[in-house]
A and B are shown apart, each in its own frame.
Chain A
Amino acid sequence: MFWRKLLNIDSKIIYVVVGLALLLPVIKPVGMPVSISEEYTRRFYNYLTDIPKDAVVFFDLSFRETGEAELGSSVLPAFELLQKRGVKIVCGGQWQQAPFFMQSRLEKKAEEIGSVYGVDWVNIGYKPGGTATWRAMMEDFWKGAAGVDCNETKFDELPLMDRVRKLDKETFAAIVIWQAGTPGSGTWMQYAPDIPLLAVYMGGIGGNARYLRSGQVQAMIGGMQQAAEFEIITDCLGDATGLLDAQSLAVLVVIAFIVLGNISWIMVKRQDSLERSS
């Protein structure tokens, strides 16, 4: 029977179909229209543009290579937006990978827009030790961060770091976190609740919307959709705008599989009960 065969379909076939649905639009994007979300993307953008000139913002890059396509694509527009407005940026991360592999992309972007490393921005890299390290930076940033950036350059050779003596609200106008999981924004809500927090979540906002409502996060965006919106609103088109088509098509395929799976299950159940009664 057709429905029984469909219900017992080899999972590898589903993987291949979903894989192709993701692959084809990457090769040939459709160019689906994108509308800007007022509650999330516009609010996120407005918050960044309201940060006063010459303030210092901390970029917490808490993701790994697998998050580069989605999260990495909104780091660069945010970096460009703030740097062009004269806002200073200190990058770091609670995850090992992103502060390092984003360095070359940030350097390239900085060169494009004329930002000077050490004066306009610094990347302290990943500092192991978890929350104890961040707590130490709140007491003494230099000591907590071992006094060196991601290239082992001493803080006293980087003029911007003269202004960064503590990880507190007097030093940082905001923390912007790009997170692919835990540890993430929870660290800042727990240990630095006084510093305004902006968050970019991987996959989507999901259950994190409650933090926006409670005011623990001032603005947030999530998923490829809002990464694409952010690229458009900042006029800095990158990966997310192109990849959104692929993700949308794959979601449609998954929905189709869920619907077909449910119909198959109902049909098989009905046939089994008919067979039992006869």
Chain B
Amino acid sequence: MNMDPLIMLEAVGTIAVLSYVWKENAAYRFFEFTAIGLVAAHSIVQTWNNYLKPTVRDRMIGDGEWYLLIPAAIGLLYYTRVMDKKFSWLARYPISISIGYSIGYSLAYSPRPFLKEFRNNFASFGHVNDYIFLLVWLLVVFYFIFTLMKKTKKTLRVTGAITRCLIMIYMGVLFGTSILGKFSRLLGRYQFLLRDWLRLI
């Protein structure tokens, strides 16, 4: 058995978290909260090292880019939310700027990969898969557009039933992928416990 304190701690943490499968317990809770705390602490250190320190030390003091104080001041307005109520409205400025920025970003860049995917997928037809792809796509689009008409039109009821099966197959693939991902995660932990901690394999 590996008696390295870090390995021991990791092993105890792994077993405590896995014990949740049987029943929620104090050991699981302790490690859950510890993990959340660690992530929060790590993020703060990362932000300090990667952003605040280089921005203040290199760009502001080193290169004299003092205009950076303006966005910094706007960012600090977020904290007015926890101050007296008569100042809390000031938090709307950084919120509105960041939301506006995000929306602008999305409008500029989000349609591009989707349109490219759509265009390229229907660019050439030579293989039987291309026709299957087109057929399934049409069926799914019709399924959702004519959802309400399915009650009255028999043809749509039939295609609707077929499409529902196709959608279920797709969902099954996604579910299967997710389950395999979960297995991989558990296998990684087994490997750690058996190889790195207990040295059995």
Contacts and interface: CB of A to CB of B under 8 A. Distances in A.
Interface of A: 12, 15, 19, 22-23, 26-27, 65-70, 96, 126-129, 131, 146-148, 152, 180, 186, 189-191, 193, 201-207, 210-211, 213-216, 222-224, 239, 243, 246-247, 250-251, 254
Nearest to A131: B105
Nearest to B101: A132
6 contacts: A22-B183, A190-B110, A206-B173, A206-B177, A243-B184, A247-B184
A86 B46 CA distance: 32
Interface of B: 21-22, 39, 42-43, 46-47, 49-51, 54, 58, 105, 109-110, 112-113, 116-121, 133, 170, 173-174, 176-191, 194, 200-201
Contact of B188 (A23, A68, A205): A68
A128 B21 contact: no
The 8 A-B pairs at the shortest CB distance, nearest first, are namely A203-B181, A69-B188, A206-B177, A214-B120, A66-B185, A70-B184, A189-B113, A204-B177
Contacts of B47: 128
A193 B186 contact: no
A224 B201 contact: no
A191 B116 CA distance: 13
A246 B187 contact: yes
Contact of A180 (B58, B119, B181): B181
Given A70-B181, A146-B54, A246-B187, 20 more contacts: A65-B188, A66-B189, A128-B46, A131-B105, A147-B54, A152-B49, A190-B109, A193-B112, A193-B116, A201-B177, A203-B177, A207-B174, A207-B177, A214-B117, A215-B120, A216-B120, A224-B183, A247-B180, A247-B187, A251-B180
A67 B46 contact: no
A202 to B, nearest CB: 5
Contacts of B185: 66-67, 69
Contacts of B39: 96
Contacts of A190: 109-110, 112-113
Contact of A27 (B105, B178, B182, B201): B201
A224 B185 CA distance: 11
Contact of B21 (A15, A69, A214, A223): A15
A78 B118 CA distance: 31
B183 to A, nearest CB: 5
Given A15-B21, A203-B181, A251-B180, A69 B191 contact: yes
A26 B194 contact: yes
Contacts of B186: 19, 22
A42 B183 CA distance: 25
Contacts of B105: 131
Contacts of A69: 184-185, 187-188, 191
B181 A202 contact: yes
Contacts of B188: 65-70
A16 B188 CA distance: 17
Contact of B183 (A191, A211, A247): A247
A174 B46 CA distance: 27
Contacts of A250: 183
Contact of A207 (B46, B170, B191): B170
A12 B46 contact: no
Contacts of B190: 22-23, 26, 246
A19 B19 CA distance: 12
B179 A254 contact: yes
